Structure 1
């Protein structure tokens, strides 16, 4: 069962890589590891990520997305057929979104061997007693790096094709025992279009899924940089009709702007996973900082419906900072819990 105590703590998904893992991944990409070496390395990385979360006191953990070797490339695009890899638009200068992977559809997109979520979950389940959140990029976000070519009309049609693939994977991971699934859709917050299309895509992704469902809406975190105006208001109130139980939104790096949105989320009967730790800033919050941010949300949402999380995943954050921020986040939540008489 998922934990339901007031101010439950969790993570968004990805976790920071320690230096040894950075070195190992580079060696893997150069072809220097055998299959057994790779498996052992990935297992160790997941074990380490789970240990760090448990040591910090996180209530609902993830496997850190350590097996994916990045948000997109190896974890997902590498499992899709029907794509041709393209060179990045820019190779030199300051790292940015225009240096990321790009693909073109050359045949209908398929994933004959799935997306890997089942194996990720099955391994993590054996390595922790904590409830596990299973995360997966959403179809509109995944479609953003794929040109339609002569196969699809546009990004939306690609997203619908991906939604069917993702739904099949989610059904499989639920069959394996998963109780909580989160779709990561930063692109829905970045490219605000027709909300009916977004809602329909989510409906297709979650069709037949009866476990706890969440959606993470952020503004991008590649190299720790956002890529949008960073306003949720254009998504409201339409997003409240999404077939999900929880909305994960970033607040800390926006100085708690739009905190009042929490009232609308709560009124819709949904949990709010509120980002109260800034993963894009190397200022390490104190527990008091975190507690103050939580208090700013409490006039709008009951602590029973408020989940305490970082703004985004920690994949773009140094390990030492991620570890310190997680500990401060848990301590800040405990501080407010005591103030409210729950501990």
Structure 2
């Protein structure tokens, strides 16, 4: 079915149900306690629950909530070959990005079995035929947790090695029938100093991929904390030349700062605007979401706009995520009605 006018969707992740988070922790601590059928049953149940949350909130395009992953990207290091974990230097104290898992290359990077997202999509399709998007972390973002060791001289070289791996994964998803792909590249928003290199990496990552492609660029959300200077200005105007159909950007957490930059994008590029703040437990009233959306529409035509949270909901309490999604949907519907476009 065609999407409604100004669709309301998600970025990717959803809050883990409490029982499922406890299950995942127990599997990690006592793996021999569970057989493959036990793990599969729990995984499908978790996906079914979050699909219900999203459809119940009225979202127009949903995901599996990334229930099948560790964070939006950390689980992919388990299927990449050629790396070894680096011991964590700091485990205690206030959370920060230095507490994330890190790896070191010990041989050239490869993923002979792919990254596993095709299996994720197949499992999702067993449960629902709702419109979906499949998020896949981009090569530069994946490279952020990998030191080159004696194999690669720097992060850019690691990213270059990951380009064909991510490209192959995107092509496999498109061949499986995925029509909407999301390239998660928040690291580019935090490292905007080499725009032509950035555009070239994106172009080669999506080359030959037959699908609608969105590129998500936030400022990080590990333990609800950003990782870089929260400004999109250095990305403009060159980001408008990225070989993608849509840019997904966060605005709610920054009180719509720089929303006027959307007017600088070419008319051929769609935008997904983050209008609820995933780092905040306060639930925005629908009227506020509607006001934010009307501000966006002063800078970009409504036909090019989708509405999302700023980022994924993985770091947000489930009851808060559900309430925020409902408020976001209702705020979008208020604007649709005011424009005579309620579908």
Does the CA-based 8 Å contact 1:277-1:325 persist in structure 2? yes
Determine if the alignment matches structure 1 residue 221 to structure 2 residue 221. yes
Deviation at 1:233, TM superposition (A): 0.7
Q: Which residue of 2 aligns with 1:323?
A: 322
Gaps (5+ residues) in structure 2?
Answer: none
Gaps (5+ residues) in structure 1?
Answer: none
Deviation at 1:147, TM superposition (A): 0.5
Determine if the alignment matches structure 1 residue 270 to structure 2 residue 283. no
SS in 2 for 1:135: strand
Q: Which residue of 2 aligns with 1:44?
A: 45
C-alpha distance in 2, partners of 1:89/1:164? 31
TM-score (norm 2): 0.97
| Deviation per residue, 1:72-112 (Å, 9 max, x gap) | 332x0000010010012311111111111010000001111
| Deviation per residue, 1:214-270 (Å, 9 max, x gap) | 1000000000011111000100111111100000000000000011112123x3411
Q: Which residue of 2 aligns with 1:300?
A: 299
Determine if the alignment matches structure 1 residue 24 to structure 2 residue 2. no
C-alpha distance in 1, partners of 2:22/2:70? 12
Report the RMSD for the aligned CA atoms in angstroms: 1.1
C-alpha distance in 2, partners of 1:2/1:155? 40
SS in 1 for 2:259: coil
C-alpha distance in 2, partners of 1:66/1:171? 22
Deviation at 1:64, TM superposition (A): 0.8
Deviation at 1:193, TM superposition (A): 2.2
Does the CA-based 8 Å contact 1:61-1:130 persist in structure 2? yes
TM-score (norm 1): 0.97
C-alpha distance in 2, partners of 1:225/1:46? 26
Does the CA-based 8 Å contact 1:56-1:327 persist in structure 2? yes
C-alpha distance in 2, partners of 1:237/1:126? 42
SS in 1 for 2:197: helix
C-alpha distance in 1, partners of 2:263/2:210? 25
Cα 1:33–1:70 shift into 2, 3 Å: farther
Does the CA-based 8 Å contact 1:6-1:305 persist in structure 2? no
Deviation at 1:203, TM superposition (A): 1.0
Q: Which residue of 2 aligns with 1:261?
A: 261
C-alpha distance in 1, partners of 2:249/2:275? 9
SS in 1 for 2:104: strand
Q: Which residue of 2 aligns with 1:60?
A: 61
Deviation at 1:208, TM superposition (A): 0.5
C-alpha distance in 2, partners of 1:259/1:150? 43
Q: Which residue of 2 aligns with 1:71?
A: 72
| Deviation per residue, 1:94-137 (Å, 9 max, x gap) | 11111110100000011111101111111212322321100011
Q: Which moved more, 1:121-130 or 1:278-287?
A: 121-130
